[in-house]
Structure 1
Amino acid sequence: MPGYNTKFDLTVEDMELIEDALRTTKRSLNSAVIEQAADPLRPCENTRDVDASMKRINDLLGRLHNQKNFYRPKGGAYIGG
């Protein structure tokens, strides 16, 4: 049985594209949930699946964010804001 590749060669642009696609998917899922909530006669049997998908997308976006290297000056104190 083959194993998983643990080394990926992605550019910054590739990562931005992935993040944008995840955010777009998250927006469309959120819109679907809002539309279901607005119409009480529509069945909402897939709400749990949508919630699970939204949680996975949020977790992945968080992990991608945590892997970024943000600018820090080499000398002196860093003052954010």
Structure 2
Amino acid sequence: AALLDHAEAQVRDVLRSMPDGTWEFADYADEDSVEANPCRLKLRLTIKGDEAVLDFTGSDPQLGSSLNVPSGGDPRHT
């Protein structure tokens, strides 16, 4: 618990050093399924004081492939 509290305090310090505001970005990742459709990732980041809100509204739905698992999901490589 102490380690998590310390990490949170560090992140809040970083957030306080950033200007308040909202930024948006969108990009595409290549999906690794048979269909190989690109996957849209959209982010709206809002910073206010020592808080950040990450809103992924507008991103494509979760993929059935292992795009976010670098080891291909093999538990021997985690």
Q: Please confirm whether the aligned pair reaches a TM-score higher than 0.5, indicating the same fold.
A: no
What TM-score comes out, normalization by structure 2 length?
Answer: 0.26
Greater share of helix residues, 1 or 2? 1
What TM-score comes out, normalization by structure 1 length?
Answer: 0.25
* Larger Cα-atom Rg: 1
Greater share of strand residues, 1 or 2? 2
